[in-house]
Amino acid sequence: MFNIFKIYQPEEKELPVIVDIPHSGMFVPPDISAQFIEEHLQSLPNTDWHLDKMYDFLPKFGVTIIQATHSRYVVDLNRQIKEPTFGSFWTSVIPEKTAFNRDIYQQKPNKEQIQQRIKKYYLSYHESLRALVEQKLEEFGKVYLLDLHSFFGPITADVCLGNVNNQSCSERLIRAVENNFARYGYEVVRNQVFNGGYITRHYSQIPNVETLQIEVRYHVYLQEDQLDLPQPPSWDVPQFHAAKINFYDIFSKIVAEIFNK
């Protein structure tokens, strides 16, 4: 049985930090893949490719990770459940087309299939994420939730930090992340296009929960000439390994700064 999501518990002293990675999964169940156009099934564009591997060191710092394993085209965990549930890539929990307005389906799902997906993949993920937040709130009285993504266009900065235009987290948190990425030569911007999706906005409404969306441009960690191929780019490339070394140091410094370690 394929796990709908994975949770990685802290390997060191637990911190009130949760990382969620909702868009790096590439699994499409057979009953759903049968509805897809074959070309789309091969490429799965706009996936946050390989972030699960990029950030797999975080439990060593006391961080808890929840990571979706299924593709965002099965259901998009970073969208609010609202009508139409099947429609725009940017607003619906189940996108009908890609971000580039290309067709995904040769056979569109019916209403019953859409509701089944939402129940099985969306609600179960958010119930578990909510439980993690509540558990850490009870234990620590404070929670930091980092929502991790990657992107290609429409901006050219290396990293974009989104805190809903200064509403979802403190200046102390966003400055710590911004400064430590910048120290390693990355161009960092705030709230430019990517100012925080549903997860950032929704969970920041819980008292004593700070949320921050961190978007990393594909070119920072993937090989550029693989990005236009009709298949996912490889993670086993020099760019990825170099970025991972940097990110390890960056997040170790962020944790030290926030928690005075």
Which of 52, 50, 62 is closest to 20 using CA atoms? 52
CA 109, CA 86: separation in Å to the nearest integer? 9
Domain count, the chain: 1
Residue 252, pLDDT score: 97
Domain enclosing residue 143, as ranges: 5-259
Which of 247, 18, 14 is closest to 132 using CA atoms? 18
Q: What percentage of residues in the chain have a pLDDT greater than 90?
A: 92
Sign of the torsion angle spanned by Cα atoms 202, 211, 90, 235: negative
Residue 243: is its pLDDT beyond 60?
yes
Residue 180: is its pLDDT beyond 80?
yes
The type of residue at 152 is F
pTM for this prediction: 0.96
Q: Residue ranges of the alpha helices (H) in 184-233?
A: 198-203, 218-221
Question: Helices 171-183 and 238-259 sit at what angle, rounded to 10 degrees?
Answer: 140
What is the mean pLDDT of the segment spanning 36-49? Answer: 90
Q: Residue ranges of the alpha helices (H) in 10-93?
A: 30-33, 38-43, 51-54
Task: Please tell me whether residue 95 adopts helix, strand or coil conformation.
Answer: strand
CATH of the domain at 222: 3.40.630.40
CA 186, CA 181: separation in Å to the nearest integer? 6
Under the banding of pLDDT at 50, 70 and 90, the label for residue 176 is very high
Which helix (H) or strand (E) segment holds residue 5: the answer is: strand 5-8
C-alpha distances (whole Å) from 119 to each of 36, 81, 261 are: 20, 11, 41
Residue 229, pLDDT score: 86
Under the banding of pLDDT at 50, 70 and 90, the label for residue 261 is low
